[in-house]
């Protein structure tokens, strides 16, 4: 009995000594258990994002017989690839097809063999040629059903009850039963998402203003949710004129260090070049980095940059004229009315354009502007006559600024040129000889760009 008592006492003392350590182990175990519970949801949410390391492949199918006839260029491919590439998406092909069901289906079969995401543009309108909706339903085997919210929005837009909507408009309220739709605040055609077994097919409206707004507000968030693409980070676009793409690229390599996480995208047309610099995230630090990048680029190429946003060269010139509170008159022969077309298409052009005179010959423009024969006879050279037309346009429109483009003529080398006269405030006249590059509409486009740039520099 005495021995047992001693043994029990020893055990009691042993437990007394170990009790604090056991409590600490218990608390540590509970903490680890709680931490595990907290971490699990974070891992579940983060796992789809990690898959974005491999780009999402997609194909573009642009519908419209007018594209194949050359009536309009395909601007959708450029916009979509430029917008989606910074999100971690890779376009593996784009094709234009006519408004025929079998042509669209053939394109879809090819696209499915290349990617599990296909974006179709056009053919969602109310006319008989708009066959994309029904074609995709037949191709995927997914039925269409009238959506009550889309129907109510259509009724509100036209201020009539659903029963009084025209059948061709009501057809636009049909959406896939297996999939979803994208809202369209700028038109009647909603975007459609067909969720097939192995492929997601997305249909977007054809008009650029509708498609582009829908891509930014509806498609980009959908892709993030459906495929785990990253949301747009911050970006900077610099628009250049009178400088080649390769020269810009070489200047950047020589003078502007870009870190590996900066994505650079460029495109050019008619003497204009856009460079876009993008970062994956959009934080104050990222925006500050892009701002510093812009400062470095402007230090070396600033004189060639006319905008750091989506402003066109024509819009920039109109804005400069508005700032000066002045007006501009145009006289065109060798440019074929391309200046009037570009500047006149800007929303606020009516505030600054005092008038435009377009004719195929000097003599016809002389008649339009009522230049007397005796004054005309004194001006014998093409540049003198172009200058006289600029003076006449300034008098007719009471405008301080005039751009007059004379007839094309050929130099000794065989190259073609036009004389351009700039009538500036204070009755100042400046004449320049501009070389014509190419022929036809493309030559007019490039010439228009060159003249706009010269005008931009004088307005600064």
In this structure, are residues 409 and 392 in contact, taking their beta carbons and an 8 Å threshold?
A: no
pLDDT attached to residue 10: 39
Predicted confidence band of residue 26 (pLDDT cuts 50, 70, 90): low
Arithmetic mean of pLDDT over the chain: 87
Residue 301's domain comprises: 235-307
Please check whether residues 121 and 255 belong to one and the same domain. no
- pLDDT tens per residue across span 434-453: 998 877 777 888 999 999 99
Q: Distance between CA atoms of 95 and 207, rounded to whole angstroms? A: 17
Average pLDDT over residues 20-24: 50
**The domain boundary residue, chosen from 227, 260, 285:** 227
The CB-side HSE value for 233 (13 A sphere, CA atoms) comes to 25
Number of domains the chain is built from: 3
- pLDDT tens per residue across span 159-192: 999 899 999 999 999 999 999 999 998 899 999 9
Average pLDDT over residues 349-376: 93
Average pLDDT over residues 414-442: 90
- pLDDT tens per residue across span 272-327: 999 999 888 889 999 999 999 999 999 999 999 999 998 999 999 999 999 999 99
How far, CA to CA in Å, does 388 sit from each of 385, 395, 424?
5, 11, 14
Cα dihedral 152, 158, 159, 162, rounded to 10, equals -40
- State the residue for tokens 């500047």: 343
Please indicate, yes or no, whether the overall pTM of this predicted structure exceeds 0.75. no
Residues contacting 62, CB < 8 A, separation 6+: 74, 76, 77, 94, 95, 96, 97, 120, 121, 122
For residue 71, pLDDT over 60 is answered with yes
Please check whether residues 327 and 414 belong to one and the same domain. yes
Please check whether residues 290 and 323 belong to one and the same domain. no
Q: List helix spans (H) across 159-273.
A: 167-170, 208-214, 220-227, 245-255
For residue 230, pLDDT over 70 is answered with yes
For residue 53, pLDDT over 60 is answered with no
The CB-side HSE value for 408 (13 A sphere, CA atoms) comes to 17
For residue 18, pLDDT over 80 is answered with no
pLDDT attached to residue 264: 87
Q: Give the domain CATH number at 301.
A: 3.30.70.2860
pLDDT attached to residue 365: 94
Among the listed ranges 84-98, 360-374, 401-415, 439-453, which one has the minimum average pLDDT value? 439-453
Q: Distance between CA atoms of 302 and 240, rounded to whole angstroms? A: 9
Please check whether residues 318 and 276 belong to one and the same domain. no
pLDDT attached to residue 24: 52
373 lies in a domain?
A: yes
Predicted confidence band of residue 62 (pLDDT cuts 50, 70, 90): very high
pLDDT attached to residue 263: 84
């Amino acid at each position: 009995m005495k021995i047992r008592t001693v043994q029990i006492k020893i055990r009691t003392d042993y437990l007394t000594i170990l009790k604090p350590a056991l409590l600490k182990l218990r608390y540590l175990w509970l903490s680890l258990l709680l931490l595990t519970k907290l971490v699990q949801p974070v891992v579940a949410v983060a796992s789809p994002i990690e898959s974005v390391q491999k780009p999402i492949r997609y194909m573009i199918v642009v519908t419209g017989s007018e594209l194949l006839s050359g009536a309009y260029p395909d601007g959708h491919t450029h916009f979509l690839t430029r917008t989606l590439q910074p999100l971690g998406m890779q376009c593996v092909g784009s094709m234009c097809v006519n408004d025929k069901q079998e042509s669209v289906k053939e394109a879809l079969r090819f696209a499915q063999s290349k990617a599990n995401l296909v974006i179709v543009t056009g053919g969602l309108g109310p006319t008989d040629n708009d066959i994309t909706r029904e074609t995709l339903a037949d191709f995927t085997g997914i039925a269409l059903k009238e959506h009550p919210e889309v129907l109510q929005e259509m009724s509100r837009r036209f201020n009539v009850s659903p029963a009084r909507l025209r059948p061709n408009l009501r057809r636009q309220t049909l959406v896939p039963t297996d999939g979803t739709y994208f809202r369209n605040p700028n038109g009647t055609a909603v975007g459609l998402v067909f969720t097939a077994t192995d492929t997601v097919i997305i249909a977007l409206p054809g008009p650029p203003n509708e498609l582009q707004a829908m891509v930014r507000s509806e498609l980009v968030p959908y892709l993030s949710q459906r495929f785990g693409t990253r949301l747009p980070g911050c970006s900077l676009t610099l628009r250049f004129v009178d400088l080649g793409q390769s020269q810009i690229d070489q200047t950047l390599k020589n003078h502007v260090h870009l870190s590996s996480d900066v994505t650079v995208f460029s495109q050019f047309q008619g003497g204009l070049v856009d460079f876009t610099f993008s970062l994956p995230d959009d934080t104050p630090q990222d925006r500050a980095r892009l701002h510093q990048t812009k400062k470095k680029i402007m230090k070396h190429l600033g004189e060639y940059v006319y905008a750091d946003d989506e402003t066109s060269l024509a819009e920039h010139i109109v804005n400069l004229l508005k700032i000066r509170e002045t007006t501009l008159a145009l006289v065109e022969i060798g440019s074929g009315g391309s200046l009037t077309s570009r500047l006149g298409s800007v929303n606020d052009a009516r505030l600054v354009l005092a008038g435009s005179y377009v004719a195929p010959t000097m003599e016809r423009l002389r008649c339009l502007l009522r230049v007397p024969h005796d004054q005309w006879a004194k001006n014998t050279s093409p540049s003198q006559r172009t200058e006289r037309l600029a003076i006449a346009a300034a008098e007719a429109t009471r405008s301080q600024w005039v751009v007059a483009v004379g007839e094309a003529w050929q130099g000794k080398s065989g190259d073609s040129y036009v004389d351009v006269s700039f009538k500036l405030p204070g009755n100042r006249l400046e004449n320049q000889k501009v070389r014509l590059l190419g022929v036809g509409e493309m030559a007019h486009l490039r010439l228009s760009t060159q003249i706009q740039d010269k005008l931009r520099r004088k307005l600064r």
